[in-house]
Every structure is written in C-alpha cells, then in structure tokens.
Structure 1
Amino acid sequence: MIVFSHPTLNANAKALIQGLFKNKILYKLYTCVAIFKGQVLYKLGVNPKLKDLKRRRLDKRWQKFTEVNSFFEFGRLIASKLQLEPLTRHEKGFFCIDRVYQKHDHWVATTLAKAKKEGVTGVYAYEDGAFATFTKAKQLGIKCIYDLPIGYWRMARLLMQKEFELNPEWASTLTGFNDSVAKLQKKDQELALADVIYVASSFTKQTLTAYSGKLAEIKVIPYGFPEVNFKKEYRSLEGRKLKILFVGGLSQRKGISYLFEAVAGLREQVELTVVGHKSVANCSALNQALEQHHWIPTLPHHQVLACMREHDVFVFPSLFEGFGLVITEAMSQGIPVITTERTAGPDLITEGEDGWIVPAGSASAIKEVLEKILEAPQVVQQYGLAAQRKAQTRPWSVYAQEMADAILSSKIL
C-alpha cells in the first residue's frame, strides 16, 4: 500500500491518484484542501471568484482515503487574493508556498508510524515536500518514491546563466534564482533519500546528470493528454495571416524573446497572440514586445483550450521545462506544436509528422519552421490531425496505469 502526499494537487497528481486507487494500492491521500460533491465548499466553487475551490474538487470515491490539513493553504489563498504580499513573500511570509509545503511535509511524517503498522510499504512525495516524510520513512523501513516535476536546479542555473549574458535586457524576468541555500540543500537531500525517482520527460532526467551524488533509478513516464472531444475546423491561409499562439508565464525561461525575434521579420504574414502573466512588471523589453502583439494576461483553462482551437500553430520555445502541459493541451485540440528539446517535446512529438522540435534559444530555427509552414500551409491540418490522433492514444488514464504498473512491478510493494 502507498501513502500519497501532495499539498496542492494538479492534473498529473490527480491522474496518478486515480491509478493508485483503481489498482487498490492507495492507503491514504494527504493534501491541504480536498473538496467533494455535496459539501458547502463544492457549491461555492461555482462562483468564478472562487475558482481555486473548483480546482480542489476530487473524485467522490476518494473521500474515505483522504486526509486534509488546510490552515496554511487557506491562509495562502486568502492572502494572495487580498494581495497581502508580505504574508506570501518567497520563503519568508507566514503563508508563503514554502511554508505550506514544509508544514504539509512534517504533518505527513507524523502519520507514517501508524501507516507502517497498517501495511504501508511506500510513500510517494514531490519535490520540496518530501524531506521530513522521507527521513521518517527511512527510519521505519518504508520505501521513498520521489516525483521531480521540473528539471534539477543545478542544471537550471547552468543553462539559464547564459541568458543573463546573452539577453541582459530580459534578465529581470528570470525570477527563479532566489531560493535560499537551505532550500536548495533540502532538494538535494530529498533526492538522496529517494529509492526511485519518477520524471515526466527525458529532458528532466538529463538535468539530473548535474547531481554530484549517487541517485536511485530514474524512470521516465510522460504525462497524459487531455480528453479529445473537439474536432478542429482548419481554415485556408489564403487571404489571411498565419495565427500563432503562445501560452505560459512571460519569462525568459520560457524563451519568449526568441519567439518575438522569430516573428519580427514575418509581421506581414503572421499574427501572434500571447496568453500569460508577466513575471515582472518593469521589463521594458517585454513591455515593448507585448505592445506589438495581441496580449491576454489571463484566461480560464476552458478558454485557453478554445483559444488554442482558434489558432493555426502553437509555439512553446521554453529554455528549461520539466514537461510543458500546454504542449499536450495544444495537440489535443488539433494544433501542431513547435517546441524545443528542453521540454517534453521529444517524448511526445514525432518530428516531421505531428510537430517540430527546434534547438532551445534559436530564433532563426523558429522562424525557419514558420517559413516552411507559410510555404506549405497544408501542413497545419496534416500535422494538426496527426497531433490529435496521438493525443487520443495517450489519455491521462494511460499515464495513471503506467505509473501504477511501474510501482507494482518495483520492489516498493
């Protein structure tokens, strides 16, 4: 039996829980907020202003397996909504996300002795929320299953340091370098305690080559695709521009400057829509670029999918990405994707059939693909249909079963 721990839950965590539940190896699900049909909070979730509650809705069948400890996460949500920045300040605020993860981690650790007596043999936990849990698990002889959802931090610094030198005008958007030494050391300690490490892309596995110590076996199991329930209508490009879409945080980590540079020389033939929050408010290079294109700061998830269907090609030029769920989302909507080798793209896309992989940090490579599309616009439909067919072969249920099978076939149980 497996203890599953995740403070906030997301699509991939929920899929994995379903796999554990279906295969009858879920002992308990520990999280911060869990809402089930019939509860007052479930009904409140229909209010658009309370969309965070809707995201915490879980399968009713999981209710008897679920334990929650909500104080710090509710505090974080309320402080964020009220823009009480001192309370959510990185690593320092009383309700910061780091504290949410730490409190959750220590709480789960206190439950393991009882779990061990009731037959639990493994605990599944995620980066930044596993150290106390794994430390206690080792004392009790419980196996530690680690999930690393984004690339290893040392490799991120090695790769992204180049951007400070190559594109200093975009450097202020690289905000992911303010973790304390203590937090980074804890990441390494979590890795050292793991008995098996799961990642969702080959790129994430490659980043772990920067780890200096000995690691457990690393298994790559890509996430699933959203349900394919919409048939895209492909429009001729005759008499109109190629519609390009980007969705993601507006940071240089996403390679956003290279996209702007790629389309700069094609303004008469393409139009670019950018959906995402600015990582910082005062980057003049970013602000100037956004003025030249259609920028949408935020959209609900269902509207993001609808927006995807309205475009011809999706470009995701990320320089460092553990997976990139927007890739699978776009493909499921019948939109061919241009992305880099530093995402899950190589695990999902067959070059020349249903999408394109370009070198990270190359505006010219992105532009070259766009020019090929403009020369042979029929590939939009050809690749888009192929992308959607691939999405149909790997729904979230496939990921869930593959993960369950991997755990069942390991020495964890």
Structure 2
Amino acid sequence: MNTVLVHGAPAGPGGLGAQVRSAAAGLAALGPVVALGPGRAGNGTADAADDALSAVEWLREPGLRPRGTAAALGRRLCPGRVQAIGDARLGRWAAGELDRLRPDRVYAFTQVALESLRWAAAAGSPSCLDNPNGHLRGFAEAYEGEARRLTGRRYRGHPSPAAVRRVEEEYALADRIRVSSDWAKRSMTDRGVDGDKIVVVPQPLDLARFAPAEKRPEPTGPLNVAFVGTLDLRKGFVPLLRTVRRLGPDRVRLRIVGATGDRTCRRLFEREAAGLPVEAAPGDPRPVLQRSELLVLPSLEDGFGFVVAEAMACGLPVVVTDACGAAALVTPGETGWVVPAGDPATLSDALADALREALAVRDRLPAMGRRARADLTAALARPGVNDLSACFPTAPAPAGGER
C-alpha cells in the first residue's frame, strides 16, 4: 500500500521538523511514501532516519507562501491569520496532488490536513491525522493567557480562532489521530475528542547522535542549565528567566539554544534577560547539552517535547512541567524533576525549588544523567516506538483495483 504524507514544516531538526522526519521514516517502513509539503530541511540531518527518508519521494509545494512587503507587514501585525491562510493554501495544493496520485491512505499533520482529509473521506482512503501537541484549543489558551498576563494585549499569533476551528474539523474528519504521549491523548479527550480514534505512538530518537560527551567539564561556578526551543509564550521562558534572576547569577548560568520568536517575544526576552548571565543563539543543541549539567523545559503545553529525550540521551537530568508529554520519561528524584505548570507564579516557585534541589545534590547530577540515558534507552527499545501500523483502520480494497 502506498501512503501520501502531508506536512507543513520541513523534515529536519527542531521539534516539529523532527516529528515530520520520524513520521516519514515510520511510514516508509510500511511501504512507498510520497511527501507533500516544504520537503526536507537543507540536505537532511545525518541521523538514523536518513536512510528511510531517502526512500521517500519529496514533492515540494511550488512557492505558495505569500511574499513581499504586504506579506511581511501581515506576518508582523497579524501572524496567526497569515499562518492560517498559508496552511489552507498548502492544504488545497496537497488535495489537488492527492487527486492526481490516488494513494491508498493519507497521513497528514494538523493545520495543513483539512483538505486532504476531505479528499480521503470522499475517496474512501483511510486517513490518520498527526497531532504533535495536545488539543489545539488548549494550545491557544496557553498563548492567549500569557499574552494577556505579560503584555496586556490580545494575542494575534498562531493559532488564530480560525486555525482552531480548522483543526477541530480535522479532528472530526480523521479516521485515526496519532499523538506522541498519554498526556496529549488526555488533552484531546478532555475537550471531547473520541478517545477510540486516538493512537499513542511514542517518538524515536537517534541515540548515536544524542550521546554524552566523552568528557564533560568539571562542575565549577554557577550551575550550568540548558534550555532548548523557540522562545515563544508557550515554552515558559519568562518564568524561567525570572527564576534565574531570583536565584542569582552566582548560582545559575543559563544557556539557551533557540530563536527568539516573534517581535513580542524578542522584546520580552530582552527585558527579562537584562543583566543576567544568559547565552542565547539558534543552532544545534547537542554541543550545549553535552556541556551542561541540567535541562529545564518549563512548557505550559507540549504534546511531547523532543528536547527532553535529547537531553536525557546526552546524559542530563531534566526539569520539566506536568503539561509536557515527555514528563512520562522522568523518574522524579532519580532522573530529574516534574513540576506543576499551574499559574505563572506557581511555576516560578516550583522551578526555583527544583533548581535549589539540583544545586543541593549537584554532585549527584552526573549519576542522575546516566540513569536518565539508561531509562530512555530502555523506553526506546519497547515495542511500538514509531510503529505507525496502528494509525490506519483496515479498509477493503477498492472494487476492480480502482477508485
């Protein structure tokens, strides 16, 4: 059976890119795959999935995203609306390609899936929707609440109300919905999505690429803490920076790997990081993880959180919130700390308590990191990791071999 994969982010590094990459690899294990979307990032990432990705036929969207001064102004003033328009444009193009390719089944990522799911329903092709986060309404609520609290302004980024309505229609149309964690499934069912159609398929990770440094620097001076991810409102970077300020620069040094997101988040970062010993730059997280002692990911909502697994693979204990799917990988007190996302003040207090405890047991952190990698290795060896065979309902073959 052949499958068409519809995706809105390039397959490659980063959270969503990594999920596109793992989905492509998982589908390739089931048969021929044609991917419709922005393709692969650069020349691809040298990891274990690359052989599988080379077997995928990548068809790039033909320059559908709006460009020019007007588009740039729209992205700045109302980025959520522009994102929704671009997602629908890609979706319409993908549906046209589906009508040409006539695949046996369709696997599509949220936001760009709607038109493809409509095509699959009309054609009788089994469909699976990949939902990288929790329910998009909860995703939106996290952004909207932080925007009001930190800026006093209405949130205009992604997801817009139109995007939420679009994705909720995707939830209803899909035969199956793939999520990466039990937390993500609960987020969906709590908001009324039929749990019988949701399939939890754990994400893979390349343990050869993400591995401990041969020799980690001696822990001297402030505690070396890493944060990896785009600095956006959902990632909890403001409570983290305020926690670092509370503890003081003589106790904690923060290294951030990630872009600073939109203009609002750039301004927030500049304000909150002023005077702190914080390094921030986009790039490959592996070198920073290999020279850090602890990862902190204070997400307010995260369906999985690839960086948690990446840090554990690099031999780091982690601090993560209970609103992140990868928290299930953590054994509290043994491989890290799980703190309540709660309201921002509660989160900052919980982060401060976790970092104080990490400082108190600093000599144990390397052993905790070794246990974290061992636990992750065992989890990745269990059956079902990136096995997408359960993502499609059984469907009879079309009469006469044609649709």
The 1:173–1:19 alpha-carbon spacing in structure 2 relative to 1, beyond 3 Å, is same
The answer to whether 1:269 aligns with 2:255 is no
Give 1:399 shift: 8.2
Gaps of at least 5 residues in structure 2 are 12-16, 397-403
Give 1:263 shift: 1.9
* SS in structure 2 of the partner of residue 71 of structure 1: coil
* SS in structure 2 of the partner of residue 53 of structure 1: coil
1:68 corresponding residue in structure 2:
59
The 1:262–1:221 alpha-carbon spacing in structure 2 relative to 1, beyond 3 Å, is same
The 1:83–1:159 alpha-carbon spacing in structure 2 relative to 1, beyond 3 Å, is closer
1:279 corresponding residue in structure 2:
261
* SS in structure 2 of the partner of residue 273 of structure 1: strand
**8 Å Cα contact 2:295/2:317 also seen in 1:** yes
Alignment of 1:242-257 (within 5 A): 242-257=223-238
Gaps of at least 5 residues in structure 1 are 36-51
Name the aligned partner's letter for residue 61 of structure 2: S
* TM-score, normalised with respect to structure 1: 0.78
1:150 corresponding residue in structure 2:
133
1:85 corresponding residue in structure 2:
72
1:252-282 CA-to-partner distances (Å, cap 9, x unmatched) read 3111121122222321222122233223435
Give 1:154 shift: 1.6
2:96 corresponding residue in structure 1:
107
2:118 corresponding residue in structure 1:
135
Mean Cα deviation higher: 357-366 or 288-297: 288-297
Give 1:99 shift: 4.9
The 1:155–1:170 alpha-carbon spacing in structure 2 relative to 1, beyond 3 Å, is same
* SS in structure 1 of the partner of residue 129 of structure 2: strand
Give 1:136 shift: 1.9
User: How much identity, in percent, do the aligned residues show?
Assistant: 21
* SS in structure 1 of the partner of residue 42 of structure 2: helix
* SS in structure 1 of the partner of residue 256 of structure 2: strand
1:43 corresponding residue in structure 2:
none
1:32 corresponding residue in structure 2:
37
1:290 corresponding residue in structure 2:
273
Give 1:66 shift: 1.6
- Within the candidate set 144, 160, 183, 1:179 is matched to 160
Q: Distance in 1 between matches of 2:321 and 2:385?
A: 28
Mean Cα deviation higher: 253-262 or 58-67: 58-67
Give 1:141 shift: 1.9
The answer to whether 1:226 aligns with 2:217 is no
The 1:213–1:405 alpha-carbon spacing in structure 2 relative to 1, beyond 3 Å, is closer
**8 Å Cα contact 2:114/2:169 also seen in 1:** yes
The 1:202–1:95 alpha-carbon spacing in structure 2 relative to 1, beyond 3 Å, is closer
**8 Å Cα contact 1:3/1:123 also seen in 2:** yes
**8 Å Cα contact 1:234/1:381 also seen in 2:** no
Mean Cα deviation higher: 343-352 or 153-162: 153-162
Give 1:250 shift: 1.8
Name the aligned partner's letter for residue 154 of structure 1: R
Mean Cα deviation higher: 247-256 or 56-65: 56-65
The 1:135–1:334 alpha-carbon spacing in structure 2 relative to 1, beyond 3 Å, is same
1:202 corresponding residue in structure 2:
182
1:404 corresponding residue in structure 2:
388
Give 1:349 shift: 1.3
1:305-347 CA-to-partner distances (Å, cap 9, x unmatched) read 1011111111100101122111111111111110101112322
Give 1:93 shift: 5.9
- Within the candidate set 28, 42, 53, 2:42 is matched to 53
What's the Cα RMSD here?
Answer: 3.4
The 1:282–1:109 alpha-carbon spacing in structure 2 relative to 1, beyond 3 Å, is closer
* SS in structure 1 of the partner of residue 359 of structure 2: helix
* SS in structure 2 of the partner of residue 136 of structure 1: helix
